[in-house]
A and B are shown apart, each in its own frame.
Chain A
Amino acid sequence: MNAPLDRWLAAVSGLLAVCLATIGCAPVPAPPPVTSSSPYVRAPVDENTEPTGEVVATGGYLFPGSESSSVYGEGGPVFRLGDHYDLAVRGRLTGVTAEGNLRLVRGGFELGWLHGVGGFYVSDWSAHLVTGASFQLGADGPQQLFGAVRYAYATGAEDSFETREYIITSVGYRFPMVSDLSVAPELQFATDSELEYHLAPTVSFSAQF
């Protein structure tokens, strides 16, 4: 076997996993489609070592309004496709999401348009569409204030085609740590069309590659 074949096998394995995830369902309750906006936040870098992306791991708690709290965790890569576009892919126990962010940069301020698909949320909800806006302050400095407002349209699954809409607001702050590592605490607040609310404090760690 040679290196191209190795890479081909790895790519096929990954594609198979994603395809299987899209047809699957899991026996777990569906959380709102909250997801961290910290993956879209870029740390300032040396022009000579421009990274091509980051790996992000997020953990925290999810406090649904009418249920007891649950653990929240997700992880995935963010690819920088050009100077103004990021693509983030994330996986968690209840599904896989893919979101893009088209960003306009003006000095230390960035404004982005978020859009994506996600879900495969098992028995209750199968998929959702997301769009929204992101912002970042201090983009040209070592620390950034960031946030996003998302609108998510979730479709029902199985014998129910009920739909539900979410508005998810998040705000966070990103600090540099050692080397290429950053940490970003974030607070997310989601309300849905059934007037239930969800609160999710999270912490994200990201390393550039």
Chain B
Amino acid sequence: MRRRITDVTRGGTLALLALLYLSGCVMYPAGPDSSMAPFVQLESEQPGGDPEYGKVSSSMGVWFFRGANLAAPYGSGSLSWWLTDEYTLVGMSTGNGLGLQGKWMMADTSDVRVGFVHGLTFNPRLWGFLTGGVFAQRDTRRASTPYGGVRMTLVFSDMQIAAASHEWAAGWTFRTGSLQWGPEARLGIPVGELAVEGLGLTMQMEATF
């Protein structure tokens, strides 16, 4: 049963990706450009091994914006620090700004993990982002797991809300030793007319320490 659900999830994700791509989605970075992947955490598969404190993550890929006839390369780096079993702090840097995000684990079993993400991103030249949302991942004790989430983002400029969007993300992470990697897709949907719909395809690489 689990395998069937996994296959359906994976197939649905790929089909969604193909559909969005063929429909000509193009873009503008609708959110703070941070991947969901830094929040995804697999259990150590080496009992008695060295303790893990966190991980360094990198994301790179491309965003497409609907109607803008643009595709923008994208990359970022982040440092996640596991403060407690329930809370992870993520510092990240992109061309959009420097951000600080937190993850609070609300439910954590061997089969599924559900958390609440929240954070701030700041760009001294333009604006700041305020983000909040939920994410979930399956099969936390296996070498690979699907995950996904949704975030709401408010963009502030001159102390006023300049734009808002919600961003859906789905990905798959694999683990090889202390390296985690995998693809992720994100769909940014604007609220109002100040942002542009975008589809982001990203490849993640993360090393635990």
Contacts and interface: CB of A to CB of B under 8 A. Distances in A.
A54 B56 CA distance: 9
A179 B55 contact: no
B181 A10 contact: yes
Interface in A24-78: 24-28, 53-60, 68-77
Interface stretch (A85-93, A131-139, A167-175, A187-195): A85-93
Give the interface centre of A21, A94, A120 by most chain B CB atoms within 10 Å.
Answer: A21
Interface string B59-76: 111101000101111111
Interface residues of B, number: 60
Interface string B84-104: 000000011111111000000
Contacts of B76: 57, 73-75, 91-93
Interface stretch (B45-53, B106-114, B149-157, B158-166): B45-53
A60 B93 contact: yes
Contact of B60 (A54, A58, A75, A177): A75
Contacts of B64: 20
Contact of B72 (A26, A58, A181): A26
A68 B58 CA distance: 27
Contact of A10 (B75, B95, B182): B182
Contact of A207 (B125, B144, B208): B208
A73 B98 contact: yes
B61 A181 contact: no
B141 interface: no
B94 A55 contact: no
B132 interface: no
Contacts of A68: 125
B207 A208 contact: yes
Contacts of A76: 58, 60, 75, 77, 205
Contacts of B29: 93
A179 B207 contact: no
Nearest to B58: A75
B73 A71 contact: no
Given A58-B77, A60-B93, A72-B93, A25 B205 contact: no
B167 interface: no
A90 B205 CA distance: 11
Interface of B: 7, 10, 14, 28-29, 33, 50-62, 64, 68, 70-79, 91-98, 123-125, 144, 172, 174, 176-179, 181-183, 201-203, 205-209
17 contacts: A17-B60, A21-B71, A57-B76, A57-B93, A59-B92, A60-B93, A68-B125, A69-B124, A70-B123, A73-B77, A73-B93, A75-B93, A180-B178, A180-B209, A207-B56, A208-B207, A209-B177
